[in-house]
Homo-oligomer: A and B are copies of this chain.
Amino acid sequence: MQQAAARFADYLSRNRLRMTRERRVILEQVLAVGKHFDVDDLLVHMRNGGLRASRATLYRTLAHLVDSGMVHKVEMAKGQARYEPMLGRHHHDHLVCLKCGEIIEFESPEVERIQEEVCRRKRFTMTGHTHQIRGYCRRCSSR
């Protein structure tokens, strides 16, 4: 947390942005909710903790956190974005259960390697990717 705050402060100052109370609180709460939350989860979590920030500020701050690389944005179908802190975590992709909403992570160096290879062959400069598998998790597919 100390480190995270320092890293965010650094990102902000490098971009001539300011460290405000709202941004401090949002960073702290983002780390507290943990994985794969959406803006409403965050809002509710903050209210329960007696904290608040407007939706506009949430979106704005999340964009900065994403830009700083401290948080990843996971685009779900139909434009429902989720976020997850990436501090000290490795890149991974997701399996999404269509029934219960569970999100399972997976990592495949092999797939990542093939992606690079494809980009090389197509002379394409990759800046990011989304690899999402939809279906039913163990529990939901057994019933």
* Residues in A lying within 8 Å of B, measured CB to CB: 75, 77-80, 95, 97-98, 104, 106, 108, 110-111, 114-115, 118-119, 122-138, 141
Q: A105 → chain B, closest Cβ, in Å?
A: 9
- Quick one: which of B115, B124, B141 contacts A137, CB cutoff 8 A? B124
- Quick one: which of B78, B133, B135 contacts A75, CB cutoff 8 A? B78
Instruction: Evaluate contact between A131 and B129: CB separation under 8 angstroms.
Output: yes
Tell me the nearest residue of chain B to A140, going by C-beta: B125
CA distance A124 to B130 in the complex (A): 19
Q: Which residues of B contact A118 (CB under 8 A)?
A: 95, 106, 108, 133
Instruction: Evaluate contact between A134 and B141: CB separation under 8 angstroms.
Output: no
CA distance A111 to B125 in the complex (A): 19
Asked, given contacts A106-B122, A118-B108, A122-B106, whether A135 binds B141 with beta carbons under 8 Å apart, the answer is no
Instruction: Evaluate contact between A124 and B111: CB separation under 8 angstroms.
Output: no
Q: A2 → chain B, closest Cβ, in Å?
A: 33
Top-10 shortest CB links A-B: A79-B79, A123-B138, A125-B141, A126-B135, A127-B135, A129-B133, A125-B136, A131-B131, A125-B135, A128-B134
Instruction: Evaluate contact between A134 and B126: CB separation under 8 angstroms.
Output: yes
